[in-house]
Amino acid sequence: MLLYNKLSNDERAALIKKANEKRLTLSFYKYHKIDDVESFRNYLFTSFEKLNILGRIYVAMEGVNAQLSIPAKKIKKLKQLLDSITFLKNTRLNIGIEHNNESFLKLKIKIKDKIVADGLKPNEYDIENSGIHLSAKEFNDLLDKPNTITIDMRNHYESEVGHFKGAICPDVDTFRESLPLIKDKFDFAKTKKNILMYCTGGIRCEKASSYLKKSGYDNVFQLSGGIIEYARQVKESSIENKFLGKNFVFDNRLSERIGTEVIAKCHLCGEVSDNHVNCNNEACHVLFIQCEKCNKELNGYCSYACKNTSMLPIELRKKARKGRKKKSRFFKKGRLSEKV
C-alpha cells in the first residue's frame, strides 16, 4: 500500500478537470497528545486518499494541522471520519469562502516536531490555558474598546494585503519571531489592557495566547476560528465586516477577498495592488506582490534578471545559479525595487 503521493501536479490537475465536480477548500486543527505519530499519519493518509482528499497536513506529538481540498459531495464522509477519531470528534471545519478546484494538487502528510513552528520550550506555554475565544460579533465589540490592543499574529506578507482596522501588524517573516517581540513590546499592558489577537484559522493564536498567559498577561482574547470563520459569520449573520482587504491563504489560491479595499502596493512599481504571485523563475520562485501592468511586462517574473535567466538554455541557467546564495523566500516592503 502506497503511503505517499504518486501523481504529478499536471496528472492530478487533469484528473480533477475530468471529474468535473466541485471541490471545497477547508482547514482544521487540534492540539492533542499523539503517542504513535507515524501510525496516525499513515491512517490519515489511507483514509484521506479514499475520499479523494488533497492537501497539506502536519502531524506531531502535539496534534494535527490540516489544510485540505475535498469533493463537496464527500464533506459529510469527512466529518464522519473525524468524528470516529476520539480527539477529533466535533472538530470545527474552517471552510473557505472562495474555492478553486486546484487549490491543492497533492496529498502530503508530514511528521513534524510541532504542528506550528513556534520556537518555544515546553515550559513557556500551557496549551490547555489559552485565551478566551470570541465569535465575530464579540470580536468586533472588543476591537472597538479603547482599552484593547489588537495584534495580528500572522507574518508581514499576510497582513500586508489584509488586516483588521486598527490592528498592530508586526513586521516579521515567521511566527516564532513574533512571539518574544510581542511579549516584550506589550509588557506594560499585561495587566492593564485587553490583548486581542487573530490569525488565519486560529491555530497560531492558541499557542500565542497560552504563551502570553504563561508570561503573566491577564486579559487575553482570540478570534475563534480565525479570519476564515470570521468571514463566514459576517456573511451568514450580516455582521459588520471590519477586516480590510484580503486574507492570505497557504494554498494555490494565495488569498480570499474579505474586504473590498486594496491596501497593498506592487513591490515593483508601487501601484495599488494586492495580487500575490510566485516568480516564474523556478530557481527563485519568491513570493511577492505584482500589479497587472508589471505582471504583463515581466510575464510573472520578479525582475528582469530572473526573466532573462529563465530564457537561457538549461545548462547556462545552472551555471548562472552556481555558487549563488539562496535568498529569502519572501519580499520585505520595498526590497525588490533595488534589483529590477
> If we measure between CA atoms, which residue out of 108, 96, 336, 72 comes closest to residue 225?
96
CA triplet 149, 151, 154: central angle to 5 degrees? 180
Give exposure, 145-161, as e/b (b: 16+ Cβ within 10 Å).
eeebbbbbbbbbbbbbb
CB 203 within 8 A of CB 29: yes
Active site annotation includes 284? no
Given the residues 169, 199, 205, 294, the one annotated as active site = 199
Strands 194-198 and 148-152: parallel
Residues 208 and 223: their CA atoms lie apart, in Å, by: 12
CA distance 308 to 303: 9
The dihedral sign for the CA sequence 249, 255, 260, 264: positive
Decide the pairing of beta strands 243-248 and 23-31.
Answer: unpaired
Which amino acids are annotated catalytic? 199
